[in-house]
Amino acid sequence: MRVVYAGWRARVQCVLGYGVLTLLVSLSAQAAQPSAPVSPARTVLVMGDSLSAGYGLAPGQGWVALMAERIAQQKPGWRVVNASISGETTAGGAARIDAELARSRPAVVVIALGANDGLRGLPLEQMRANLDRMVRAARAANAQVLLVGMRMPPNLGKAYTDGFTNTFTTVATQHEVALLPFLLEPIALDRSAYQDDNLHPVASAQPKLRDHVWPALVPLLK
């Protein structure tokens, strides 16, 4: 019996040793196989002012952040870079656009600037030239563009307010880019949708802005 046992133990050790060797060879072969390349995420770059930067809101509450969440859920392979700055004018955006394009290499650029130009009464010719500069730069970088417009209160005078509104239409038409005429349209007449400054929307209004921008943006996410 002692001899039989010794032979059985030898056979078991041989089988186990062969199994371990087979496993190691299999793992080595798997490791040697090149992994499938992971496609880098395509980028939506948002160039805006405080309305897009989430002024007065907690991180993640602004419409751009909410849009990023929706894109992550419904459009895998895309990401959002929010390069918006509170107080930004179209001149500031035009000065920054090249660096932001080089940094993010976006496939889509959302330009949501002009509100501060209007509130400061800056020349409309200058605003148009700045928007034109930004659109041209984005197109030269092979990015699609969504131009998001704004409107001014009537106290600035009809000539200025009409010219301000028409500037966005003119630039979008000239370059044949997508246009959302008025970012704040869903909440424009709702005083409760704004913070105490009566300029910046509250957190509860941000989903409405996201839902307003979404139909204009989603056709560009191809």
Active-site annotation, residues:
50, 197, 200
Query: CB burial class (10 A; 0-12, 13-18, 19+) of residue 47?
Result: buried
Q: Is the separation of the CB atoms in 41 and 187 below 8 Å?
A: no
> C-alpha dihedral over 150, 53, 208, 153, to 10 degrees?
-30
Length of the chain: 222
Rounded Cα distance, 147 and 172, in Å: 7
Which residues in 169-189 are b (16+ Cβ under 10 Å) and which e?
Answer: eebbeebebbbbeebbebbee
Q: Is the separation of the CB atoms in 86 and 117 below 8 Å?
A: no
Rounded Cα distance, 65 and 72, in Å: 11
Query: CB burial class (10 A; 0-12, 13-18, 19+) of residue 214?
Result: middle
Rounded Cα distance, 30 and 51, in Å: 51
Q: Is the separation of the CB atoms in 87 and 50 below 8 Å?
A: yes
